[in-house]
Amino acid sequence: MPLARSLSITSLSGLEEWDEEFDLEDAVLFEIAWEVANKVGGIYTVIQTKARLTAEEWGENYFLVGPYVESNVRTQVELIEPTNPALKRAIDKMNSSGCKVYFGRWLIEGSPYVVLIDVAFTAWNLDKWKKELWDNFSIGVPWFDREANDAVLFGFLTAWLLGEVAQCEEPPHILAHFHEWLAGLGLALCRQRQLPVATIFTTHATLLGRYLCAGSVDFYNNLADFNVDKEAGDRQIYHRYCLERTAARCAHVFTTVSQITAVEAEHLLKRKPDIITPNGLNVKKFSAMHEFQNLHAQSKNRIQEFIRGHFYGHLDFNLDKCLFLFIAGRYEFSNKGADIFLEALARLNYLLRVNHSDVTVVAFFIMPARTNNFNVETLKGQAVRKQLWDTAQTVKERFGKKLYESLLVGQLPDVSKMLDKDDFTMMKRAIFATQRQCQPPICTHNMLEDSNDPILTCIRRIGLFNSSADRVKVIFHPEFLSSTSPLLPMDYEEFVRGCHLGVFPSYYEPWGYTPAECTVMGIPSISTNLSGFGCFMEEHIADPSAYGIYILDRRYRGVDESCNQLTSYLFQFCQQSRRARIIQRNRTERLSDLLDWRYLGRYYISARHMALAKAFPDTYFYQPHDSETAQGFRYPRPASVPPSPSLSRHSSPRQSEAEEDDDRYDEDAEAEKDRLNIRQPLTLRRGKGWLAG
């Protein structure tokens, strides 16, 4: 589902359309990945969101290739007869040779064609294909690694499919784009068999990099020193690593999703990427200019309702001065930065207490873990909240009826008689029901490994137990959010919109969809200079923090220094006025165009044209741009930000609430100031002309 944003009148200018120059009528594109119509991780989001733009570019000549998973096909794919004659002949021949290959439309935006291969049905070929893999590439795959076995089957079957298409009477120019190591063997086989196929390989995160970072090593500062073969062997992933490196080395064009991953790939996979292809999102535009601010208020109210129930009996803080922070993603305690986030929250709690701040911070951890059900105390809290609401509604109706009858007879009501003894008894019973002997729970679920859970163990060490004295409260929700949940009935997008700040201090994050989603929805976020998103924003924005994009330095600082910097960012955010947060959200949302596939898709277009020109030089021509002029464009510091600190201070020592409300913020005027300072993007030279990039 596309993420929604406001009208583009408030957007920064400078993002021109990409003019298509290549003749694609005689070319077909196969995009091959294990996560086509098969959600496993972030690559699914990349392919699903990019499909609409790619389908618009290639039309009927765009085909996605993935594994056949029956449960997914029943809900996501409409099976139909193949439309392309060459592809139909290839599928029919494979099916008559003992394979099961399906064709259909993936029911997502763009409705792209999909070719789904039943990997398990051809498992009888596994030993034969493993021997061929060893004979041709000297890569041995152990029998017990089921995922690698699937990669072998999938690789040989995709190479078989492409080979059949290439052998038709008048074969088109075939371009095959492979994602990640699970699909990479098909690419290596295409090159080994000398098939007339232009190939692209994209690594979204290197296998060895993910394993090394999980092992608590100083990864980025020692990239050049790793003995990659030994490290992969020590972790029993040498065969997987070899499959990934072979695909990267064999591809006509090798790409990664970020500059930080490009450096990593150069050292671990021994090839420098030809082009960076950042990940984007589909951005939907509203007709109302401030609609995303209204959605923030609506979603925030729903989170506040959950907080009222969760903290019943201990709701001694002002919800209007409560900030909601969150971290979400795979449960990788160190790689995702949950460790330093918790440590920073403990330090933030101390700062808010000693400074007598009236701000309360509620930090959500949305990371799926093994549980057996909801926590009884958490469910009870929501039941108590609902009971109080029902009681208040009952008393309100009885009060309203008496008021109505009094006014009908022309008398002002006697307030002392409006609420009788039964009303007070009912309200007292409701109040007594809110009494609680224990602290509000940290975790919303019963954990299967409570004593060994990294987040809960860290919380016990730092002592954040949601006590009344704490200005920072923690809620661990070890399950993905859903609108059907009896506890917090919100989809992830709604929840993000209702929060004030996303915190993602990751140590290993090749791209980072979570902060990108925050940006599109106008929610400020904290990321790091070790994440692809953070590096991308530093490259494009002169002053990221002014736009609500805080970049944490985790490359050249120790853990304690990074934690102090994160604490400083959090404390400064807590000191912002409500008006300052509204202004910042407007600026954050204005960056949406940077993350839209309409803009970022041009990098994939460039990679595809580069591959076609390398594989078919007689037909296609691609002239790479001059590296000296390819500096991109940078969003300057917002013109609406005061040029010096003195001008941003108030005339009185402390701004009053009244002053805050009276000081109007004109979004159109502020946006116009920012827009006038945006440079046009660079100009890239390509085959048959010039085009903006």
Query: Domain for residue 318, yes or no?
Result: yes
- pLDDT mean over 596-607: 91
Confidence of residue 379 (pLDDT cuts 50, 70, 90): very high
pLDDT top residue among 446 and 217: 446
Query: Domain for residue 298, yes or no?
Result: yes
pLDDT top residue among 222 and 183: 183
Confidence of residue 656 (pLDDT cuts 50, 70, 90): very low
Using alpha carbons, select from 50, 49, 7, 110 the residue that is nearest to residue 592: 7
Does 272 lie in the same domain as 400? no
Residue with tokens 């020692």, as numbered in its chain: 222
Q: Which of 541, 567, 595 is the last residue of a domain?
A: 595
Does 181 lie in the same domain as 78? yes
Give the CA count within 13 Å in the CB-facing half-sphere of 459. Answer: 25
Query: Domain for residue 645, yes or no?
Result: no
Confidence of residue 639 (pLDDT cuts 50, 70, 90): low
What is residue 8's predicted lDDT score, i.e. its pLDDT?
30
What is residue 499's predicted lDDT score, i.e. its pLDDT?
97
Residues 550-567 pLDDT 10s: 999 998 888 999 999 999
**For residue 443, pLDDT beyond 90:** yes
What is residue 157's predicted lDDT score, i.e. its pLDDT?
98
Does 194 lie in the same domain as 73? yes
Residues 573-588 pLDDT 10s: 999 999 999 999 989 9
What is residue 541's predicted lDDT score, i.e. its pLDDT?
87
**For residue 635, pLDDT beyond 90:** no
pLDDT top residue among 480 and 114: 114
Q: Which of 539, 573, 595 is the last residue of a domain?
A: 595
Does 224 lie in the same domain as 306? no
Residues 453-465 pLDDT 10s: 999 999 999 999 9
Residue % of the chain over a pLDDT of 90 = 68
Tokens representing residue 157 in the block: 């079957």
Does 140 lie in the same domain as 61? yes
Does 170 lie in the same domain as 308? no
What is residue 123's predicted lDDT score, i.e. its pLDDT?
94
**For residue 650, pLDDT beyond 50:** no
Looking at residue 227, which CATH number applies to its domain?
3.40.50.2000
Task: Using alpha carbons only, give the angle 356, 359, 363 rounded to the nearest 5 degrees.
Answer: 125
Confidence of residue 102 (pLDDT cuts 50, 70, 90): very high
Residues 342-373 pLDDT 10s: 999 999 999 999 999 999 999 999 999 999 99
**For residue 616, pLDDT beyond 50:** yes
40-54, 155-169, 406-420, 511-525: which range is least confident on average?
A: 406-420
> Mean pLDDT score of the chain, rounded to an integer?
86
Q: Which of 248, 276, 304 is the last residue of a domain?
A: 276
Residues 332-349 pLDDT 10s: 999 999 999 999 999 999
d(CA 119, CA 67): 6
Does 265 lie in the same domain as 366? no
Does 301 lie in the same domain as 155? no
Query: Domain for residue 417, yes or no?
Result: yes
Task: State how far the alpha carbon of 86 is from the alpha carbons of 19, 172, 652, in Å.
Answer: 29, 9, 76
Does 308 lie in the same domain as 213? no
> Long-range contacts: 627-632, Cβ < 8 Å, 24+?
629/682, 629/683, 630/682, 630/684, 631/682, 632/539, 632/540, 632/681, 632/682
14-28, 77-91, 338-352, 449-463: which range is least confident on average?
A: 14-28
What is residue 425's predicted lDDT score, i.e. its pLDDT?
85
**For residue 4, pLDDT beyond 90:** no
d(CA 17, CA 602): 9
**For residue 208, pLDDT beyond 60:** yes
- pLDDT mean over 607-629: 78
Using alpha carbons, select from 91, 234, 237, 62 the residue that is nearest to residue 165: 91
Q: Which domain holds residue 434?
A: 376-438
Does 421 lie in the same domain as 294? no
Does 250 lie in the same domain as 316? no
Within 8 A by CB and 6+ apart from 540, the residues are 594, 632, 633, 634, 635
Does 572 lie in the same domain as 457? yes
**For residue 272, pLDDT beyond 50:** yes
DSSP, collapsed to helix, strand or coil, labels residue 94 as: helix
**How many structural domains comprise the chain?**
3
What is residue 454's predicted lDDT score, i.e. its pLDDT?
96
d(CA 613, CA 54): 19
Q: Tell me which amino acid residue 238 is.
A: Y
- pLDDT mean over 222-244: 95
d(CA 454, CA 336): 12
Confidence of residue 674 (pLDDT cuts 50, 70, 90): low
What is residue 648's predicted lDDT score, i.e. its pLDDT?
38
Confidence of residue 15 (pLDDT cuts 50, 70, 90): very low
Query: Domain for residue 628, yes or no?
Result: no
Query: Domain for residue 552, yes or no?
Result: yes
Query: Domain for residue 631, yes or no?
Result: no
Contact 476, 371 (CB under 8 A): no
What is residue 412's predicted lDDT score, i.e. its pLDDT?
85
What is residue 100's predicted lDDT score, i.e. its pLDDT?
96
Query: Domain for residue 448, yes or no?
Result: yes
